[in-house]
Structure 1
Amino acid sequence: MNKVEILQIIQFKLSEKIQNLEKMIAETRASNNETKSSMGDKYETSREMVQQEINNLQIQLNENVKAKNSLKFINANPHQIIGLGSLVETNKGLFYIAVSLGEIVSDKKKIFVISTESPLGTALFGKKKGEEISFNNTKQIIQNLW
């Protein structure tokens, strides 16, 4: 498994998300500027709803930028103990411990990118190859660790 390639895929996906969020914020701001009306209260309510949407998008953007920046601290070398940057194979799948991103595909294999704060990430953290964890009332055995 090529952890450097996996990290590049994650960086690319986060960059795409960041660009999309920036575009959505710009479009929402532009539509807010175009919403000129003499309707009084309705105009203010509409304007406030648009501002709330911009705020929500900005929060998502900040989280994705923070996640992308955190990737700089990941060590792509093989790990003996599961931590940030570990690629873990259990009898239930492949997991890359980095940021909360969901599923990616590398070398035609599905890999779930999870954060250390996620319930599964927390269960795996600090474990070694051959150890067993219990997650959602299901036992998983750590078969491989890179």
Structure 2
Amino acid sequence: MNKQEILNRINTKITEKIKNFETLIAETRASNNDTKSSMGDKYETGREMLQQEINNLQRQLNETLNQQAILQKITSDPSEKVQNGALVKTDKGLFYIAASIGEIIVENQKIMTVSAESPLVKAMFGKKTGDVFAINTMTQTIENIW
């Protein structure tokens, strides 16, 4: 399994998300400025709602930028135990520990990208091939780690 390809795919998705949030923020700010200049005080509520939307988008952008910062510290070096940057195969699926961006498909394999902060990763962190861990009363066996 090519970990560098997985990492590249995740980086691409994160970069696209960042660009998307920046565009949405710019467009929302522009519509907020249009409202300010052309409408009277009775539209204060509309402007406040737009500002809340900008704040929400900014928060999501910051979270995505944090994910990108975490990714920059991850290498594609092989792992012997479950840690950041490890690709872990259990009897229930294939997991890449980096940033949580959902499912990706690499080399016709479904890989779930998960954050090191997720309960699943916390349950398996530090374990090695052959170890068993449990989450939500479901046990999983680690079959391989790359």
Residue 121 of structure 2 corresponds to 121
Deviations 1:80-129 (A, max 9, x none): 11100000000110000011111111111110110111010111111100
Unaligned stretches of 5+ in structure 2? none
Shift in Å at residue 75 of structure 1? 2.3
Amino acid at match of 1:14: I
Query: Quick check: 1:84 aligned with 2:84?
Result: yes
Runs of 4+ in 1 over 4 A off after TM superposition: none
Unaligned stretches of 5+ in structure 1? none
Task: Identify the match of residue 37 of structure 1 among 26, 36, 39.
Answer: 39
Three-state SS of the structure 1 residue aligned to 2:18 is: helix
Amino acid at match of 1:73: K
Residue 144 of structure 1 corresponds to 144
Shift in Å at residue 145 of structure 1? 0.3
Shift in Å at residue 142 of structure 1? 0.3
Identity of aligned residues (%): 54
* Residues in 2 aligned to 1:120 and 1:90: alpha-carbon distance in whole angstroms: 11
* Residues in 2 aligned to 1:7 and 1:106: alpha-carbon distance in whole angstroms: 10
Three-state SS of the structure 1 residue aligned to 2:94 is: strand
* Residues in 1 aligned to 2:70 and 2:118: alpha-carbon distance in whole angstroms: 16
* Residues in 2 aligned to 1:48 and 1:69: alpha-carbon distance in whole angstroms: 31
Query: Quick check: 1:10 aligned with 2:10?
Result: yes
Aligned residues: 144
Given the two structures, how large is their TM-score scaled by the length of structure 1? Answer: 0.95
Amino acid at match of 2:118: S
Three-state SS of the structure 2 residue aligned to 1:105 is: strand
* Residues in 2 aligned to 1:124 and 1:52: alpha-carbon distance in whole angstroms: 38
Three-state SS of the structure 2 residue aligned to 1:140 is: strand
Deviations 1:18-53 (A, max 9, x none): 011011101111111122312x2x311111110111
* Residues in 1 aligned to 2:39 and 2:74: alpha-carbon distance in whole angstroms: 51
Amino acid at match of 1:77: D
